[in-house]
Structure 1
Amino acid sequence: MMSRLIQPSSRYLLIQLVKRDVLLRYRGAVFGIAWIFLNPLIMLTIFAYVFGAVFQTRWPQQEGGAPFWLVLYSGLIAFNIFAETISRAPIAVRSYPSYVKKVIFPVEILPFVPLGAALVHGAFNYLILLAALTWTGHLTISVILFPLMLVPLIILALGFSWFLAAWGVFIKDMSQIVPPMVQMLMFLSPVLYPASAVPKIFEPIYYNNPIAIIVESCRDVSFGKSIIWQNWIYAFVVSILIGIFGYYFFRRNREEFADAL
C-alpha cells in the first residue's frame, strides 16, 4: 500500500525528511543522536526498578514467568509508535509551509515523516527488547514476528495521520487536543494491563479495538505464545479501511492547504 502511494521519485525526499526530523530532535544535545538509544534504555531501567524491585508487580497469568516490567515494555513499544505518530500528525503539514506551496511537491508524503521518525525510535526499542529478553532468559524465536505484528498499527497510524494532518492545517488547536487524547487512549487500551483484566461488559469494545489486538499480539510473539491470527487479520482489514479513508480525506482537502497556510 505504502510503496504504491510513494512514487520512486519521492522516496529519497521522504528519507531525507525523516532523517532531518530525527537529527533535529537531538541537535545541540551533549550526547546527540545517542539519545535515540539512551531514552528507551533509561525507560526500561526505570520500569525494572519500579515494577520489579519496589512494587514487585506481577502480570495476571504472567507470560512464562517473565517479569512484569518486560511484559509492559513489549506492549509499550507498539503503542508508542502509534502515539508518537498521532501526537505529531496535526503539525505534519503546517511544519512545511514552503513545501506545501510548491505545486510539484508531493504533499501527501508529509504525514509519513512523523511515522518514519516513530519507526526509527521503535526499531531501537525493539533491539533493547531483544537484549532484555536475552538477559532475562525469555528470548524465543517467535519474537522475530514482532515487526510483522506492527504492520496493521503502522497503516492505522498513517490513516489517522492523514486525517489529523489535514485538520491540523485548518484547526490549529488540534496540536493541543490530540496529545491528551492519545494519553487517554493508552489507559483505555490494554497497554498497562492485559485485556483479560477488562470487565466483561467492556470486552466487546476491547476485542474489536485494533490497537488492543496489535498490542496483545506483540506481547504474544515476545514471549512465545500462540498468535490469534483471525484477530490480527481483523485489525489489518480495519487498518486498511481507515488508511484508505484517511488518504482520500487528505487528498480531497490538499488543494486548500496553501491558502490556509
Structure 2
Amino acid sequence: MAAAPKQVTIIEPPSGWISLNLGEVWRYRDLLYLLALRDISTRFRQSVIGYGWAVLRPLATAAIFTLVFSVFVKVQTDVPYPIFAFAGLMPWLYFSNALTGVTTSIVGGSALLTKVYFPRLVLPLAKIGVGLVELAIQFLVLFALMFCYSYPPGWQILLMPLFVMVTVLTALAFGIWLTALNVKYRDVSMAVPFLIQIWMYLCPIVYPISAVPEQYRAIYAINPMVGVIEGFRWALLGSTPPNWTMVAVSLVAMAGVFVTGIAYFRKVETTFADII
C-alpha cells in the first residue's frame, strides 16, 4: 500500500509592502488563541487580588482626577465628573496596556520566533486581545457608577462595539510600528512608557474637548486617540455629541498609521529572527 504523500508547506516572502495575508493568520488561529490565553492567564499570576487590579487601577485614578481636576481646578463637564473621567480612562488604559504589550511582543517571542515558522503578525495580535478582558470588567464598573449617579446609558450604547474596534485598531496601528522598530532599536521599549505618560495629557481624558482653544482643535484632532475617547465617552454616556469632523480627522490619522505600520512590518519581518 502506497504511503500518503507528505504535505509540503512553501514559505514565500511577502509580495508587496502593504500585502496583508489574513488567510495565513487565520490558518494559525489556534496558535493565536493559545498565545492570547497564555498571556491572559499569566497577567495577574501570583497577585493577591488578581483581576481586582482591573477595577482598582481605573477607580483610584478616576478618584484622584476627580479630586484634582473637579474639586481643586473646577473643570466643568456636562456629566458627573467621576463617570466622565472613568469613561475616558477606559479606552486609554486599554490602549496604553496594549501598546506596551505589542511593542515588546516580537522581542518577547524570540524563543518561538527563531524555532518555527508562523506569521509574525500573530505575536502582536495575541497581545492586543489580552486587555479586552480587563476592558469588559471595567464596563461593569462604569455601569455601576452610572447607576449610582442615576445616569442610564442611551441608545448610543449600541455603537459601543464600533468604538471598541476602533480602539483596538488604534493600539495595533501604533503597536506594529513600535514592535518592528523595537527589534532593531531596543530604546523603543524604554521610551514607550514615558511617551504614554505625556500622551495621556494630550487626550481629552481629564478635561473636555471644549477646553481646547478653537484655533488648535484641528491640530489636536490629528491625535488618533482624541476621536477614540470622544466617541467612546459619547457612546457610553450619551453626552454632548462629539465634533464629528475632529473624529473623522482622528480616524484618518489612525488609518494612515495603520497602513504605513503594516507596510513597514511586512518589509522588515523577514529579518526579525536574524536580528534577535
TM-score range, shorter chain: 0.7 to 0.9
CA distance in 2, matches of 1:44, 1:109: 29
TM-score, structure 2 as length reference: 0.81
Match of 2:138 in 1: 125
CA distance in 2, matches of 1:48, 1:179: 20
Q: Over the residues paired in the alignment, what is the CA RMSD in angstroms? A: 2.5
CA distance in 2, matches of 1:197, 1:203: 10
Q: Does 1:156 align with 2:185?
A: no
Secondary structure class of the residue paired with 2:178: helix
Q: Does 1:12 align with 2:13?
A: no
Query: Residue 53 and residue 85 in structure 1: after superposition, are their counterparts in 2 closer, same or farther (change >3 A)?
Result: closer
- In the TM superposition, 1:1-261 aligns within 5 A as 4=22, 7-31=25-49, 35-36=50-51, 38-46=52-60, 49-50=63-64, 56=71, 59-60=75-76, 62-63=77-78, 66-141=79-154, 142-225=156-239, 226-261=241-276
CA distance in 1, matches of 2:27, 2:180: 23
CA distance in 1, matches of 2:123, 2:53: 25
Is 2:224–2:253's contact at 8 Å kept on the other side of the alignment?
yes
Secondary structure class of the residue paired with 1:30: coil
Query: Residue 182 and residue 49 in structure 1: after superposition, are their counterparts in 2 closer, same or farther (change >3 A)?
Result: closer
Residue 193 (structure 1) shift:
0.9
Residue 83 (structure 1) shift:
0.9
Residue 88 (structure 1) shift:
2.5
CA distance in 2, matches of 1:257, 1:232: 35
Is 1:152–1:240's contact at 8 Å kept on the other side of the alignment?
no
| Residue identity in the other structure for 2:181 | W
CA distance in 2, matches of 1:188, 1:52: 18
Is 1:214–1:232's contact at 8 Å kept on the other side of the alignment?
yes
| Residue identity in the other structure for 1:197 | A
Q: Percent identity?
A: 26
- Decide which structure has greater helix share: 1
Q: Look at both structures and tell me which one has the larger radius of gyration over its CA atoms.
A: 2
Query: Residue 257 and residue 43 in structure 1: after superposition, are their counterparts in 2 closer, same or farther (change >3 A)?
Result: closer
| Residue identity in the other structure for 1:108 | L
Residue 14 (structure 1) shift:
1.1
CA distance in 2, matches of 1:197, 1:114: 34
Secondary structure class of the residue paired with 2:143: helix
Residue 106 (structure 1) shift:
1.4
Query: Residue 53 and residue 177 in structure 1: after superposition, are their counterparts in 2 closer, same or farther (change >3 A)?
Result: closer
CA distance in 2, matches of 1:182, 1:72: 17
Residue 4 (structure 1) shift:
3.3
Aligned residues between the structures: 253
**Could you list the runs of 5+ residues in structure 1 that have no partner in the other structure?**
none
Residue 237 (structure 1) shift:
3.5
Query: Residue 238 and residue 52 in structure 1: after superposition, are their counterparts in 2 closer, same or farther (change >3 A)?
Result: closer
Map Cα deviations across residues 58-108 of structure 1 (whole Å, 9 max, x no partner): 542x32xx3211100101111112111222333110111122114521111
Residue 49 (structure 1) shift:
5.0
CA distance in 1, matches of 2:197, 2:90: 15
Is 1:84–1:114's contact at 8 Å kept on the other side of the alignment?
no
**Could you list the runs of 5+ residues in structure 2 that have no partner in the other structure?**
1-19
CA distance in 2, matches of 1:6, 1:154: 21
